[in-house]
Amino acid sequence: MHLDVVVLALVGSLKVQLPAQGADFEQVFLRWIHFGAGITWAGLLYFFNLVNGPFQKELDAATRGKVVPLLMPRALWWFRWSAVVTVLAGFRYYMILAKTDADNAGDPGLLGRWLGAWFLVWTLAWLAVYLLLKFAKGPLANGWVLALAVTLVVAGASWGVLELVADPAAGNRTLAISVGGGMGYFMMLNVWGVIWRCQKRLIAWTKANAEQGTPMPAESAELARLAFLASRANFWVSFPMLFFMAAAAHFPFLSGQ
């Protein structure tokens, strides 16, 4: 028997029936990348919050000087780039969902309005939280007060984006990602705009301190606190974010009516 006949017979015996539409291939590819990168990102976020934070507190200065420059640049490289890949793949997918809804409504212009509102609301929410975490002083800088303030901003942004995207044409998937995807984008702004910016300086100072005995600058405590607060905010926001991800295709509970 010829080899090609054998190969065809083997392939034919597999229980595979590929979808006919090219768009299905793009979408499954996007989902796959999105999950892979999302798991990497959220996994490292949980490692930082649940394991590494408490672990670092136990170390003496000399050991920290050895561990931090070896561990943190690697962990933060995967952390910040997996955040970018997650958001890019997720955003492309969100565009497909929103475009389908806008086209079904016979008003393609809705797409630009929805995406514009999404960017605006979530960028402003991030800016508000950044200013709060950076400049809150006295009793306002208390962790519980900040947690309440961040909750109010994120809840307000969720409500605001739903108000702006609300339209009879917008389905559950588009609406759920307008909220959950927005939270993911907000988290990415924290990764690049706060955590990484603070951590790269802290790592360099810790290294110099361990190798040359250069004292840690006075502002290091403030930067460490800011990075911690942004990371902790991301940790908590990740739970509602994942709920909206899960609900988008499996739990229709939002309506644009």
User: What three-state secondary structure class fits 162?
Assistant: helix
Q: Closest CB to ligand HEM among 68 and 150? A: 150
Q: Closest CB to ligand HEM among 9 and 112? A: 112
Q: Could you give the CA distance from residue 121 to residue 143 in angstroms, rounded to a whole number? A: 24
**Among 228, 230, 203, residue whose Cα is nearest residue 72:** 203
DSSP 165-191: H--TT--HHHHHHHHHHHHHHHHHHHI
Cβ pair 101, 171 in contact under 8 A: yes
- How many CB atoms lie under 10 A from the CB of residue 238? 20
Work out how close the CB of 152 gets to ligand HEM at its nearest, in angstroms, rounded to a whole number.
Answer: 21
Q: Closest CB to ligand HEM among 173 and 232? A: 173
Q: Closest CB to ligand HEM among 7 and 23? A: 23
Q: Closest CB to ligand HEM among 61 and 246? A: 246
CA 48 and chain centroid, separation = 15
User: What three-state secondary structure class fits 231?
Assistant: helix
Work out how close the CB of 114 gets to ligand HEM at its nearest, in angstroms, rounded to a whole number.
Answer: 12
Please give the residue ranges that form the binding site for ligand HEM (CB under 6 A).
34-35, 38, 41-42, 86-87, 90-91, 93-94, 97, 173, 177, 181, 184-185, 245-246, 248-250
Which DSSP letter does residue 14 get?
A: S
Work out how close the CB of 45 gets to ligand HEM at its nearest, in angstroms, rounded to a whole number.
Answer: 8
Work out how close the CB of 177 gets to ligand HEM at its nearest, in angstroms, rounded to a whole number.
Answer: 4
Work out how close the CB of 181 gets to ligand HEM at its nearest, in angstroms, rounded to a whole number.
Answer: 3
